[in-house]
């Protein structure tokens, strides 16, 4: 069964802390997404990656194909980073069929 | 606006009725996706359209669900004979290359 597991489920941090959210998947994938869901429900796509590392501002996403693992890092965290972070994996040939993790709820305190 | 739009934003219906949910993707985006998020649950893939190719319907939970995309643009998700377990937020996203742009969703409540 194709699965995507995220950890931790909930994370509370102080402003300025370095944050890591982990995602592991069960079998080979073609690509992995990181999404951010704001408290109001809106979803923003942060990264799509199939190898290596991508960086955008204070966000960094890495993927290790051999270990079937990806991480999302947030440097110098800020209260506005508070959101649910979701990883999702493309299994199989279709670029549509995404399997989603259950999300990590991040709360950054000032 | 330049983003993905969905309508209606909220829909309340009675069990057994049919509903239609609409998605207007970003102009020029060839790919369109439907997802749903049930209360307290994660996101779930429903269906994917890419250009003129046959859609990937592998995520549709039952034959009561169908979707079409007319002219490669607007898409409609139809749920026939709605059930209470269909209550969820239905999200649409479109993309041209890698990044998916999500709409605000339609919150469906089946009484």
> Cβ contacts (< 8 Å) between B47 and chain A: which residues?
96
Rounded average pLDDT per 10-residue block, chain A, 110 residues = 88 97 90 91 90 96 94 97 94 75 96
The arithmetic mean of pLDDT across residues B71-75, rounded, is 89
Cα–Cα distances (Å) from B102 to A20, A31, A110, B28, B60, in that order, read: 24, 18, 29, 15, 19
What 3-state DSSP class applies to B98?
coil
Nearest CA in chain B to A85: B42
The count of CB pairs under 8 A between chains A and B is: 53
Structure tokens of A58? Answer: 């204070």
pLDDT digits (tens, 9 = 90+) for A59-82: 999 999 899 999 999 999 999 999
Contact between B56 and A48 using a beta-carbon 8 Å cutoff: no
Asked if B43's CB is within 8 angstroms of A42's CB, the reply is no
In this complex, do A101 and B58 lie within 8 Å of one another by their Cβ atoms?
A: no
Picking from A95, A97, A103, the nearest residue to B58 by CB comes out as A97
Question: Does residue B97 surpass a pLDDT of 90?
Answer: no
Percent pLDDT > 90 in chain B is 80
Confidence (pLDDT) at A3: 86
Question: Cβ contact (<8 Å) for A45 and B100?
Answer: yes
Q: What is the pLDDT of residue B44?
A: 93
Chain B closest-CA separation from residue A61 CA (Å): 14
- Please report the pLDDT score of residue A93 as a whole number: 61
What pLDDT is attached to residue B1? Answer: 54
Identify the pLDDT of residue A90: 85
Smallest Cβ–Cβ distance between A42 and the set B45, B99, B104 belongs to B104
> A41-56 burial, b for 16+ CB within 10 Å, e for fewer?
eebebbbbbeeeeeee
Answer yes or no: do B31 and A100 touch at CB < 8 A: no
- DSSP letter for B25, please: P
**Which SS3 state, helix, strand or coil, does residue B108 take?**
strand
Q: Using CB atoms within 10 A of its CB, is residue B2 exposed (0-12), middle (13-18) or buried (19+)?
A: exposed
The nearest CA of chain A is from the CA of B42 a distance in Å of 5
Dihedral, CA of residue A62, residue A98, residue A30 and residue A73, to nearest 10: 0
Paired tokens of A43: 């979803």
- What chain A residue is nearest to B49 in terms of C-alpha separation? A96
Residue B39 — pLDDT band, cuts 50, 70, 90? confident
Nearest CA in chain B to A46: B99
3-class secondary-structure state, position A88: strand
pLDDT averaged over chain B?
93
Find the mean pLDDT for residues B11-35. 96
The whole-number pLDDT of residue A94 equals 62
Residue A42 touches partner B, C-beta closer than 8 Å: yes
Q: What pLDDT was estimated at residue A29?
A: 86
The residues near B104 (Cβ < 8 Å, ≥ 6 apart) are A41, A42, B5, B6, B9
> Could you tell me the two tokens for B18?
């049919």
Residue A1: per-residue pLDDT: 62
> What pLDDT score does A91 carry?
79
Any chain B CB within 8 A of the CB of A99? yes
Q: What pLDDT does residue A95 have? A: 66
User: Looking at residue A47, what is its pLDDT?
Assistant: 93
pLDDT at B108: 98
| pLDDT class of B96 with cuts at 50, 70, 90 | confident
Cβ neighbourhood burial of B32 (10 Å; 0-12, 13-18, 19+): buried
Q: Which residues contact B111 (CB under 8 A, 6 or more apart)?
A: B12, B13, B14, B15, B84
């Amino acid at each position: 069964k194709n699965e995507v597991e995220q950890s931790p489920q909930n994370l509370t941090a102080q402003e300025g802390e370095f944050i890591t959210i982990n995602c592991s998947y069960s079998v080979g994938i073609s690509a992995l997404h990181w999404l951010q869901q704001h408290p109001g429900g809106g979803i923003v796509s942060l990264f799509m990656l199939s190898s290596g590392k991508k960086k955008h501002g204070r966000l960094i996403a890495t993927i290790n194909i051999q270990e079937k693992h990806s991480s999302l890092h947030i440097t110098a965290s800020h209260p506005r980073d508070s959101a649910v972070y979701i990883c999702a994996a493309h299994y199989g040939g279709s670029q549509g069929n995404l399997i989603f993790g259950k999300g990590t709820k991040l709360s950054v305190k000032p | 606006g330049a983003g993905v739009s969905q309508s209606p934003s909220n829909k309340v219906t009675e069990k057994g009725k049919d509903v239609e949910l609409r998605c207007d993707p970003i102009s020029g985006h060839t790919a369109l996706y439907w997802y749903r998020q049930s209360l307290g649950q994660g996101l779930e893939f429903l269906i994917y359209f890419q250009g003129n190719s046959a859609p990937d319907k592998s995520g549709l939970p039952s034959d009561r669900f169908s979707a079409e995309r007319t002219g490669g643009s607007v898409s409609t998700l139809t749920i026939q004979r709605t059930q209470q377990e269909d209550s969820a937020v239905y999200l649409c996203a479109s993309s041209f290359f890698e990044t998916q742009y999500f709409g605000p969703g339609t919150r469906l409540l089946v009484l």
